[in-house]
Amino acid sequence: MHLPSVAVPAVLISEVGPRDGLQSVKTIMSTADKIRWINALHASGIREIEVGSFVPASSLPQLADTAELVRHALTLPGLTVMALVPNLRGAQAALASGVHKLTIPVSASEAHSLANVRKSRDEMVATVRDIVALRNALAPGVKIEAGVSTAFGCTIQGAVPEDDVIRTAALCVAAGVDESGLSDTTGYANPAQVGRLFRRLRAEIGDKAGAAHLHNTRGLGLANCLAAYEAGVRTFDASLGGLGGCPYAPGASGNVVTEDLVFMFEAMGVCTGIDLAKLLAAREPLKAGLPGEALYGMLPEAGLPKGFVQDAVHVD
C-alpha cells in the first residue's frame, strides 16, 4: 500500500500566546476557555506551546492556573509543553507539574532585569545555574532555554550593547542551559540588527542558539523573522492574534502574529507542519474566551490568496 509522503517541518513555530499573550491582557480568561484554545492550537499542528508561567498569582493572576493547564496539555499527543519560570521556586513548581521544557528570561539590560525580576544580570545567571542543578537532580530529561530579553534594545535603558547580549547568552550556556535564544522584548529590532545578532550568537554558542522571539510593535515582525531565518534560526515564537507584550517594558506590545508567520513560511515553501485553515479556526475559542479583546493579523483580515493551496499537512 502506498502512503502519501508527509513533509517534515523545516521550522518550529512555538506558540506563546497562553503565556506571553495573556499576561498582558487585563481580562482573566477562564481555565475552560484556555483548554479549548490549547486544544484548537494542537489540532492545527502546533507542536510546542508555552502554556503559562509559574509566578505568584498576586503578580499575574491571568496565569494562576498554569499547573492545571500543564496537566491537560500533557495529554495531547506529540506536544512539547513549556512554561516560563523566573526563579528557583517557579522552577520547582514547574518541574513538579511535569513540563517538558522550561524557559528562563535573562535580560541583557541591567535596568530591565531589575524591573522584571528584581535581580541584576549576574544574579539571574546565578539563578539559571541553580535551576539547571535542580533540573539535573530531579528531571534530567527536561530542556531549559534561557531567553535573552531586551536583546535589541530596552524601553528603560535604551540601547543595549551587542557585546552584552552575546555575553549574556554565553554565560547562560556556560551555566548549563540547553539553548539560548534572543528576544525583542521591546519591539525595537530591525532586520539588519536581527541578522547580525543571530549570526554572532551562532558563532558564539553554535547549535545551542535557540529561538527568535520577535515583536511586531513597529511593524517589522515578519521582516525580522525572515532575517532570523536567513541567519539560520529554525525556531520562532509567535502568538495567535498577536496578543502579548511585556508588562515591565512600557509600550512594548504586539508579538508576531502566528497566523501571519505561518502563512509567510508556507507561501515561501518552508514547511511548518501547521494547517492554516485549522490555525485560523483556533481564533474562535480565543475570541470566545476574551470577548471584546482586540486581535490582530493581516491574514485573518485578508484571507488566503485566490488559488493558494497549502502543501498537504499531516496533523496527528
Q: Which portions of the chain are predicted below pLDDT 70?
A: 1-7, 245-253, 312, 314-316
- Where do the domains of the chain lie? 12-302
The DSSP bridge partners found for residue 103 are: 84, 145
Predicted local confidence at residue 312, as pLDDT: 65
Q: Which CATH architecture has domain 12-302?
A: Alpha-Beta Barrel (3.20)
Residues with Cβ within 8 Å of 303's Cβ and at least 6 positions away in sequence, in order, are none
Predicted local confidence at residue 105, as pLDDT: 95
Predicted local confidence at residue 6, as pLDDT: 56
By annotation, the residues acting in catalysis are 246
Which DSSP helix (H) or strand (E) runs through 49? strand 48-53
Look-up: residue for cell 483556533?
Answer: 282
Query: Which H, E and C letters describe 213-262, residue by residue?
Result: ECECCCCCHHHHHHHHHHCCCCEEEEEHHHCCECCCCCCCECECEHHHHH
Predicted local confidence at residue 31, as pLDDT: 98
Model confidence over 72-131: pLDDT tens digits?
999 999 999 999 999 999 999 999 999 999 999 999 999 888 887 788 999 999 999 999
Cell of 121: 544580570
**Helices 162-174 and 121-138: crossing angle, nearest 10°?**
30
- 293 burial via Cβ count (<10 Å: 0-12, 13-18, 19+): middle
Predicted local confidence at residue 2, as pLDDT: 46
- Across 117-142, b (16+ Cβ under 10 Å) vs e yields bebebeebbebbbebbebbeeeeeeb
- Please state, for a pLDDT cut of 90, what percent of the chain lies above it: 83
